[in-house]
Amino acid sequence: MTYAIETQALTKRYGKNTALDGLDLAVETGSVFGMIGPNGAGKTTAMRLLLDIIRPTSGSATVLGQSPITGGAALRRDIGFLPGELLLEGRVTGRSLLKHYAEISGPVAPGRIDSLAERLGLDLTRHVRTLSKGNKQKLGLVQAFMHEPKLLVLDEPTSGLDPLVQQEFLSMVREAQHNGQTVFLSSHVLSEIQNAADQVAVLRNGTVVKVGDVASLRASAIRRVVIDFTDAAADDIRTALLALPQLANLTVADGEVIQVTGTVEGHIDALVKAIAPFHVVDLRVEEQDLESSVIDLYSNEANK
């Protein structure tokens, strides 16, 4: 197993403020790796350390087998970077700006810029400063993808893009992966990661609180269940369900139909088996998206 990115206890402090607190990450070569977390969790700091825009206080990082500091300019030619806050100015056309970035990055195949711009619906003849936020973001994506780098580091890549362009972006990510490129992207919009990433790291307060694939994160997600029973005693049901450690926030509403609600962490197998002896009229399991799952993760962490 080779890793496109590896960090060991990567730490960045600004005075007393710790932006990144001992980050340990391993991003497999050829994978699409997502990093999620709220603003201030350290996502942008981590990416800027990988690009050698800032230097770590302690710990180390390896990018494509090299330290970002010693790898220098030659290493960065193999990386495509999209900053989280893309500020493009100037009285130059998009094409002229991209030509400039092509000169200072890895070689760009002829026609590559035009085909990317066409896919994203970007007009390269317009002056950069007149572009909308979404169009600037497209320009940023083109400059990151155009030299087909071994590693793409994309900070909030779909911010400002409309849903159709987001779909096009996702297909660009899949193509990159198909070409053997590694994609490392961040977001606070979790649905973006859900569709793109094989692996997800959840960051909070500068450290990883969880790493897993999307499916396992979902499996560990908290689901809300609603069960309707008839022809049963509410107390029997309550007794049976209280024995389940996975079930929380249990409410039992007695009546002609006994309605039970609660939340289940992890698999619902035990719950299904526990209710099997009773007459179940209806069972609804509301699958939470990754977003709610991660928010639960935060609140669980915070409660510890």
List interacting residues with another protein (CB under 8 A). 44, 48, 51-55, 72-74, 76-77, 79, 81, 83-92, 96, 100-101, 103-107, 140, 143
Shortest Cβ distance from residue 84 to another protein (Å)? 8
Which pair of tokens denotes residue 167?
């779909």
Rg (CA), the chain: 24
Cα–Cα distance for residue pair 146/149, rounded to 1 Å: 8
Shortest Cβ distance from residue 13 to another protein (Å)? 11
Nearer to another protein, 54 or 272 (CB): 54
22: left (phi over 0), alpha (psi -120 to 50) or beta: left
Shortest Cβ distance from residue 32 to another protein (Å)? 20
Nearer to another protein, 75 or 227 (CB): 75
Element (H, E) at 213: strand 207-213
Nearer to another protein, 55 or 267 (CB): 55
Q: How far is CA 42 from CA 76, 200, 208, 293, in A?
A: 21, 15, 10, 20
87 exposed, middle or buried (CB, 10 Å; 0-12, 13-18, 19+)? exposed
Cα–Cα distance for residue pair 152/79, rounded to 1 Å: 6
SS3 190: helix
Nearer to another protein, 100 or 267 (CB): 100
DSSP 8-state class, residue 38: -
Instruction: Decide: 211 and 202 in contact? Cβ < 8 Å.
Output: yes
Shortest Cβ distance from residue 240 to another protein (Å)? 56
Nearer to another protein, 7 or 44 (CB): 44
Nearer to another protein, 124 or 294 (CB): 124
Shortest Cβ distance from residue 99 to another protein (Å)? 10
Shortest Cβ distance from residue 158 to another protein (Å)? 18
